[in-house]
Amino acid sequence: MQSKRLIEFQLTHSSQQHMTSNSEPAEGSTKSSPSPCSKPLGALSGDQREYVITHPETPTPWMNYISNPLGFCGIVSQTAGGFCFYRDPRDYRITKYRYNGVPVDRPGRYFYIRNRRTKKTWSPTWQPTQVPLDGYQCRHGQGYTIIDSRLGSVATRSTFLVPLDANCEVWSLRVENLSDQKLELDIFEYCEFTLWCEPESRNIQWSLHLPKAEFDDASRLIIYHRVEKHPAFDPAANADYRPEDDSFAFLGASLPVAGFDCDRDRFLGLYRSETNPVGVERGRLSGSILRGGVPCAALQHEMILKAGDSATLNVVLGYAEKPADAAALRDRFKDSSQVEAARLEIRKYWDQYLSAYHVESPDPTLDAMVNVWNAYQCKTTFDWSRYISFYENGEGRGMGTRDSAQDLLAVVCQLGKRSKNRIRELVSAVHFPEGDCHHIYYPITGSGHMRGFSDDHLWLIPMVASWVEETGDLSFLDESIAYVGGKREPLFDHLRRAVDFTAGKLGEHGFPLIGVADWNDTLHLWMEYPRGESILTAEFYVYALRRLAALARAMGRAADAAGFNQRAQAMADRINADAWDGQWYLRAFSPGPMGSHRDEVARIFLNTQTWAILSGVAAPERAEMILDQVDCQLGSPFGCKVEYPPFTKYNNRYGLISRYNVGHKENGVFSHANAWAVAANAILGRGDRAMEIYRQVCPLYRNDNPEIAGTEPYVFCQTLNSDDAHTPGQGANSWLTGTASWMFVAITQYVLGIRSSMDGLIIDPKIPASWSGFTFSRMFRETRYDITVGRGGQPGLRVDGLATAGNLVRPAPGPVCRVELRIS
């Protein structure tokens, strides 16, 4: 029998083992400390391509994104929780997710298995029945999730993926009878639908009358009709209204249908939940259709397994515009070899994406992040900005302008063509001829919202500069792109207008007006003073001008380049003269200085120190001094704090930032801002400190203590509570954070030091003293560069064997270029 097993995995963990408490404060302590017996709840697979979770009750749901280039996207947890949508989670949401509900992480894409003889019922993914399993393992890979489990003599494998070429999720449940008895099972699959684009709770006296779902006898599919948003109930939606849309969602299966329900309340039972649906308990679904109420898709199948036998049920949950397309998709995936083929295609797609970079360093954790997990997260933030995750409900945030511009920085090499299209899409959706930008836009409609941030428009410059420097294609700067409102101009002029806008909005001290906010969304100076000035935006303006000058120079526009550089220098001088506090840079004026040694709270801010270095504003002596101050005032075991001392009570002069609990969010450790600290340390040659901050923030180094952060060990989270917080080190808001792209940039471009420029690849490593060297391979303009950096021997650079002065490798003609750098 053993040899016949289809499902092979180590059943090392019973599902009820080794959960540890993490919330009880030690006696006499005011802080909650993580349990000392915290144990790993998973690990990377041997090839690092999967994160293998060995216990279903993780401290927060540990999520994965399964999506395709068509825009069909599912978010799936380690117990099959989560939901899916098509292209835009606000407008084409398909399945329901109850944010912040109890129990957490409901609903999902669920299977129920019921033994007809014993009536024993369980979920092969642990949720939602939570019946203890004898074996459990979840493997999150790039673009798929596989959950293996065993209960008694029934072993299962549940695979969830989104094929690259189809608007659907495929759920595949393989069941194996390990016993020597015949097994008679009822299998059910279930998901709850949403009201497409209406948050149904907003106006339920109305919205519950809209949904329609039924089982279509001819196609054997559950059909859930689209409900179009109506402007009467959402005036802001007027522009996006598409009354002609008659698409639908559907669910169908490979096995004959023995029963169905389309009405959630009939399937679950009104006073029950997904844990114990009445339909499953009864062993018979009610055959409900839905005209008003809460729609769901539940199908029932019979599965009879002889001793040692196995069988597979494949389910397709999708979106379609024509009934025939839906049936065709279901039919395609009736065949399990098609599911496997889709999985292999997904694998190939990710092999290709991940092959752009490869590092081998003395630090295998860093390698796993750069080679797989950080790169994977960067693609996910590129796709979804800050729109939709376990923490972002996808109803209103859209694609962020500054967010998307930063997300692009880490994928220009891997996704050259897509990132070019993204630049076009973003610029035309958000950029005004006046030079400023909308703060967000929605992907399907391209409509933007919110104006008045002091930095959004400036982010267009590093975004475009990174793309041009990566590809060497200056002609993009001449491409005519529309502004909001339709007027068109070459891309270069868009960028010029961005800096001109800032130049025209200076306050009393000559620094940029902060407007609604700068990078730090919650620093709301306008609460008390309408003309607050941001030193961070001033530094960022210097940075943007210098990058624009480099582009102008490459275009042969020497006078423009000189002009931009002069303006940069003038602002840098002003910062150094008027925003220097003696040992560090101020944060703002509102109207008096903020972030000064005279302040009782928030006397020093991280961002104006790191950006003083990234922008080149700080001369070497000051640069050393400010990083020393960052280390001694802002350093913590969980990374650098945004400011110190933290706000302990609301302060209207600062706004929302002061309302967070002590040590939380922008009043604690913001991971994204730590990536700039990593880069700034590297720029000053402080490789050890750069890596120390990286290790403090990077989740994989905390793998053995998962209870402290609580969030996924394989992706960065937006914030970690600082050591001033009640729960130090606790993570929040994982997956969708600018930390992903900036940490990737900080490590690859500043610590490993390999970055693209118009003239070629710069090799400028700032590695820790203990490292003997590393190898790095990356694509750059059609050539693969195999770079070896090592210590000892004659310092210097060799390109394809030839000694080369400086640290620039000019674009090579052939397919491969070998680079060797010896450092002392």
Enumerate binding residues for ligand GLC (CB under 6 A). 386, 400, 402-403, 519-522, 666, 718, 737-738
**Identity of the residue, 721 or 777, whose beta carbon is nearer to ligand GLC in the bound complex:** 721
Closest residue to ligand GLC: CB criterion: 521
Label residue 218 exposed, middle or buried (CB < 10 Å: 0-12, 13-18, 19+). exposed
Closest contact distance (angstroms) between CB of 195 and ligand GLC is 26
Q: Is 658 helix (H, G, I), strand (E, B) or coil?
A: helix
- Which among 669, 698, 670, 694 is positioned nearest to 682, based on CA atoms? 694
User: Residue 577 has which token pair?
Assistant: 């003269």
Which pair of structure tokens corresponds to residue 304?
């009879």
Out of 134, 367, 521, 786, pick the active-site residue.
Answer: 521
* Smallest separation (angstroms) from ligand GLC to the CB of 120: 46
With respect to ligand GLC, which residue has the nearer C-beta, 402 or 689?
402
Nearer to ligand GLC, 516 or 625 (CB): 516
φ/ψ bin of 794: left (φ > 0), alpha (ψ from -120 to 50), beta (otherwise)? beta
| Residue in 424, 420, 426, 412 with CA at minimum distance from that of residue 375 | 412
Cα 740 from chain centroid?
7
Please tell me the distance from the alpha carbon of residue 460 to that of residue 447, in angstroms, as a whole number.
18
Measured in whole angstroms, the distance separating CA 785 from the mean position of its chain's CA atoms is 28
Give the shortest CB-400-to-ligand GLC separation in angstroms.
Answer: 5
Q: How far is the CB of 686 from ligand GLC (least distance, A)?
A: 25
Please give the Cα distance from 76 to 680 (Å, whole number). 36
CB of 523 to ligand GLC, least distance (A): 8
For the residues of 105-170, what is the DSSP string, one character each?
Answer: S--BSEEEEEETTT--EE-TTSTTT-PPPSEEEEEEETTEEEEEEEETTEEEEEEEE--TTSSEEE
Give the nearer residue to ligand GLC in terms of CB position, either 454 or 730: 454
Closest C-alpha among 678, 679, 697, 692 to residue 769: 692
The smaller minimum CB distance to ligand GLC, of residues 79 and 737, is found at 737
The distance of closest approach from Cβ of residue 225 to ligand GLC in the complex, given in angstroms and rounded to an integer, is: 34
Name which of 565 and 718 has its Cβ closer to ligand GLC. Answer: 718
Instruction: CB nearer to ligand GLC: give 145 or 607.
Output: 607
Q: For residues 211 and 668, which CB has a smaller minimum distance to ligand GLC in the complex? A: 668
In angstroms, what is the minimal distance from the CB of 521 to ligand GLC? 4
Nearer to ligand GLC, 454 or 748 (CB): 454
Would you state the structure tokens that stand for residue 351, as one six-digit string? 């092999």
DSSP annotation of 674 reads: H
Nearer to ligand GLC, 522 or 703 (CB): 522
Closest approach, Cβ 533 to ligand GLC, in A, equals: 18
CB of 671 to ligand GLC, least distance (A): 9
DSSP 393-437: BSSS--EEHHHHHHHGGGTTTTTHHHHHHHHHHHHHHHB-TTS-B
Query: Does the active-site annotation cover 165?
Result: no
297 Cβ contact partners less than 8 Å away, ≥ 6 residues apart: 189, 190, 191, 193, 213, 222, 224, 251, 260, 262, 317
CA dist., res. 22 & res. 323, Å (int): 50
Q: How far is CA 80 from CA 64, 108, 351, in A?
A: 10, 6, 25
Map tokens 């008027």 to a residue.
578
Q: Kindly state the smallest distance separating residue 661's Cβ from ligand GLC, in Å.
A: 16
Which sign, positive or negative, has the C-alpha torsion 147, 150, 151, 157? positive
Q: Toward ligand GLC, which CB reaches closer, 92 or 660? A: 660
The contacts found for 143-146 with CB under 8 angstroms, 24 or more apart, are 143/65, 143/66, 143/67, 143/68, 143/346, 143/347, 143/349, 143/350, 144/64, 144/66, 144/343, 144/346, 145/64, 145/66, 145/76, 145/78, 145/80
User: Nearest 5 degrees, angle CA 705-CA 711-CA 715?
Assistant: 100
Separation between Cα atoms, residue 753 and residue 679, nearest integer Å: 10
**Distance of alpha carbon 292 from alpha carbon 275, whole angstroms:** 24
**181-208 in b/e burial notation, b at 16+ Cβ within 10 A?**
eebebbbbbbbbbbbbbbbbeeeeeebe
Q: How far apart (Å, rounded) are the C-alpha atoms in residues 380 and 65?
A: 7
Answer for the pair 469, 115: CB distance below 8 angstroms, yes or no. no
CB of 692 to ligand GLC, least distance (A): 23
The residues carrying an active-site annotation are: 521
